[in-house]
Chain A
Amino acid sequence: MRTDLTRLDLRLRRRGLWAYALGTGAYALLIVVLYPSFRHDTSLDQLMRGNPTVAALFGVSGSLTSPAGWLNANLYANIVPLSALLLTIGYGAAAVAGENDDERLGLLAALPLSRRTLLGQKLLALGVLSTPVALTTLAADLVGRFYQLQPPWPGLAGVTLGVALTAFLFGCLALAIGCLTNNRGAAIGVASAAAAASYVVSSLAGTVAWVDRLRLFSPLYWSVGQNQVENGLSLTSLAALALTIAVIAGVAVWSFDRLDLR
């Protein structure tokens, strides 16, 4: 399989990729190192129990001082997916709509590659871009064993996969909107709005009854919204994320075949 255009896109974004990955990794390391200072702070758990809605708005559920609760509340319920999504939504919007707007896509599409191959290589680049934030956070988590932070490793592996899949999913959504509208702004706007709505639904699902009914439509619920640090990523969640990605990627391929390029 040819990956020339995948490598080109990654080459063009290598600085941003390193910056996001190392920045998020450094933040995760700080959270890990801080854990011993809060490990026995029962007031935090009391605060969360007393204000469950506020806690839910920040993506916190369960104990804040357990290893899994600490990582979930400070990393996986908010910052880590957000950081990964910024990278992939940005790339998804730029990969087709942005490059077409800059009049660079025509030069590539005129090469002897089918449109599906071209888009496939961009989806592959998106896949690569979906992983570094999740992996550097996992690397920071692994340092936790030296700081009394030892969550279940299957759970960590599951939530890492969940973050990567969610990043891929929303990046794919930005790509598909870009293919449908040929508009970078629309691609960023729609994908960001969908991610924000998904976050709110996933966070409030256990607190607000009518929101709870919407939780199945939230990719963040499937990836990080079910205390995956503790429980891991279920096969049902994996299937839900994979199916959603397949549908969105299908829309992207269909619309890219019909897109006018410059």
Chain B
Amino acid sequence: MRVHPGSDSEAAVDLHGLTKRYGRRRGIRDVTLRVLPGEVLGFLGPNGAGKSTTIRLLMGLLLPTAGVVEVFGSDPRLDVVVRRRIGYLPGELALFPSLSGRELIGRVARVRGGVEPREIDRLVGRLKVELDGPIRSLSKGNRQKIGLVLAFMHRPDLLVLDEPSSGLDPLLQDEFEQLVHERVCEGATVFLSSHDLDEVDRVVDRVAIIRAGELVGVDTVDSLRTRAPRLVELHFAGPTDPSSVLAVPGVRALDVTATRVRLEVTGQLGALLHAAAPLGVVDLTARPVSLDAIFRSFYEDGPMGRMTHAN
């Protein structure tokens, strides 16, 4: 079952006014965010923006300078029981190099308690995890697969995944996405940090974007696309003065010649078409900007500016 944003149900994750400072260094500031049960939230931002800090606060690993973290209504820092419901994959996954994958998974499963050996076997088979031999001899991808087994093996209600597909080959990325999809279909919530925008596009319901420690937007991917600027190119029959086109609100000139203009258009195209019609347009192309460009716009303080919170 998937519960979509806007539902009245208790939040799986509720961050309110969350602030973390490391002495004089910036951490994150005043982050407020709710993730509903069954939702997949993509948590995006450039390197050093505060993604891992937010995730560690969410896991109760860091003490907040200010603000509140609640997971299923409890503080995961203090409530051991709620941590049973969370599967966590750190961004910088460091395992114990002298142990084998089999030994590490077995030991962590014993600490967790209640982990079905069949579930471990199933994950190991699907992800093709190399269990024997010391972890120090494994490639990054193989270590990452062990991390994924540790995160998924107890069938958690909340998955907190920091760069989960890092180091995985495309086939295993597909398998990972399938695993996420299956958990979500069973009602789990996913808090996913990733730099892989194609993966984000395929997997998440909403994205939250953090930049320089502050949340600059939370919205659905579809809404982002709808509101994103489009690239429009107009060709005229002969030399034309395009000033009436350039005066349309939401239009920004990228390149102007006597017989052609390239524009970035935010919002509806109707006003632009109305202004262009008398100018003898012989050809028009319009295409949306890529998801990559949309996120770059946020990362670089681009023209999309600050989104309104969808939730």
- Residue A148 CB within 8 A of the other chain: no
Please report the number of residue pairs spanning A and B whose Cβ atoms sit closer than 8 angstroms.
66
Q: A112 and B80: CB pair below 8 A?
A: yes
Complex: chain B residue closest to A8, CB-CB = B107
Produce 1/0 per residue, B2-26, CB < 8 A to A. Answer: 0000000000000000000010000
User: Distance in Å from the Cβ of B260 to the closest Cβ of chain A?
Assistant: 54
Which residues on the A side are within 8 Å of B80 (C-beta)?
Answer: 112-114
Task: Give the distance in Å from the alpha carbon of A2 to the alpha carbon of B56 in the complex.
Answer: 25
Produce 1/0 per residue, A41-52, CB < 8 A to B. Answer: 000000000000
User: Distance in Å from the Cβ of B186 to the closest Cβ of chain A?
Assistant: 20
A window 97-121: CB within 8 A of B: 102-104, 106-114
Complex: chain A residue closest to B147, CB-CB = A107
Q: A104 and B111: CB pair below 8 A?
A: no
Residue among A5, A110, A260 with the highest chain B CB neighbour number at 10 A: A110
Q: A111 and B94: CB pair below 8 A?
A: no
Q: A260 and B63: CB pair below 8 A?
A: yes
Q: A103 and B90: CB pair below 8 A?
A: yes
Task: Give the distance in Å from the alpha carbon of A173 to the alpha carbon of B62 in the complex.
Answer: 23
User: Distance in Å from the Cβ of A258 to the closest Cβ of chain B?
Assistant: 6
Task: Give the distance in Å from the alpha carbon of A102 to the alpha carbon of B92 in the complex.
Answer: 10
- Residue A86 CB within 8 A of the other chain: no
User: Distance in Å from the Cβ of B156 to the closest Cβ of chain A?
Assistant: 11
Complex: chain B residue closest to A103, CB-CB = B94
Q: B92 and A103: CB pair below 8 A?
A: yes
Q: A107 and B90: CB pair below 8 A?
A: yes
Q: B110 and A4: CB pair below 8 A?
A: yes
Q: A112-B80, A114-B80, A260-B63 are in contact. Are A4 and B56 (CB under 8 A)?
A: no
Which residues on the A side are within 8 Å of B110 (C-beta)?
Answer: 4
Which residues on the A side are within 8 Å of B59 (C-beta)?
Answer: 106, 110
Give the size category of A's interface with B: 20 to 34
Q: A107 and B94: CB pair below 8 A?
A: yes
- Residue B81 CB within 8 A of the other chain: yes
- Residue A12 CB within 8 A of the other chain: yes
Which residues on the B side are within 8 Å of A107 (C-beta)?
Answer: 88, 90, 93-95, 150
Task: Give the distance in Å from the alpha carbon of A205 to the alpha carbon of B107 in the complex.
Answer: 48
Complex: chain B residue closest to A15, CB-CB = B98
Complex: chain B residue closest to A11, CB-CB = B99
Among B60, B93, B95, B111, the residue within 8 A (CB) of A5 is: B111
Q: A261 and B111: CB pair below 8 A?
A: no
- Residue A262 CB within 8 A of the other chain: yes
B window 125-154: CB within 8 A of A: 150
Complex: chain B residue closest to A114, CB-CB = B80
Among B86, B94, B96, the residue within 8 A (CB) of A110 is: B86
Task: Give the distance in Å from the alpha carbon of A8 to the alpha carbon of B105 in the complex.
Answer: 12
- Residue B253 CB within 8 A of the other chain: no
- Residue B183 CB within 8 A of the other chain: no
Q: A102-B94, A104-B95 are in contact. Are A109 and B61 (CB under 8 A)?
A: yes
Produce 1/0 per residue, B50-68, CB < 8 A to A. Answer: 0000001001111100000
Among A8, A106, A111, the residue within 8 A (CB) of B90 is: A106
Task: Give the distance in Å from the alpha carbon of A106 to the alpha carbon of B76 in the complex.
Answer: 13
User: Distance in Å from the Cβ of A111 to the closest Cβ of chain B?
Assistant: 5
User: Distance in Å from the Cβ of A206 to the closest Cβ of chain B?
Assistant: 46
Q: B81 and A112: CB pair below 8 A?
A: yes
Q: A4 and B95: CB pair below 8 A?
A: no
- Residue B83 CB within 8 A of the other chain: yes
Which residues on the B side are within 8 Å of A261 (C-beta)?
Answer: 56, 61-62
Q: A110 and B61: CB pair below 8 A?
A: yes
User: Distance in Å from the Cβ of A202 to the closest Cβ of chain B?
Assistant: 37
Task: Give the distance in Å from the alpha carbon of A185 to the alpha carbon of B45 in the complex.
Answer: 33
A window 1-27: CB within 8 A of B: 2, 4-5, 7-8, 11-12
Among A112, A114, A260, the residue within 8 A (CB) of B62 is: A260
Q: A104 and B61: CB pair below 8 A?
A: no
Task: Give the distance in Å from the alpha carbon of A102 to the alpha carbon of B96 in the complex.
Answer: 10
User: Distance in Å from the Cβ of B67 to the closest Cβ of chain A?
Assistant: 15
Produce 1/0 per residue, A68-108, CB < 8 A to B. Answer: 00000000000000000000000000000000001110111
28 intermolecular pairs with C-beta atoms under 8 Å apart: A2-B111, A8-B96, A8-B107, A12-B96, A12-B99, A103-B92, A103-B94, A104-B94, A106-B56, A106-B61, A107-B90, A107-B93, A107-B94, A108-B111, A110-B59, A110-B86, A110-B88, A110-B90, A111-B108, A111-B111, A112-B81, A113-B111, A114-B80, A260-B63, A261-B56, A261-B61, A262-B56, A262-B92
Q: A106-B59, A112-B80, A258-B63 are in contact. List 13 more A-B contacts (CB 8 A).
A: A4-B111, A7-B107, A12-B96, A104-B94, A106-B61, A107-B94, A107-B150, A109-B60, A110-B59, A111-B108, A111-B112, A112-B112, A262-B61
A contact set with B: CB distance below 8 Å: 2, 4-5, 7-8, 11-12, 102-104, 106-114, 258, 260-262
- Per CB-CB distance, the 10 closest pairs between chain A and chain B, nearest first, are A103-B94, A261-B61, A112-B84, A110-B88, A112-B83, A4-B111, A260-B62, A104-B94, A112-B80, A106-B61
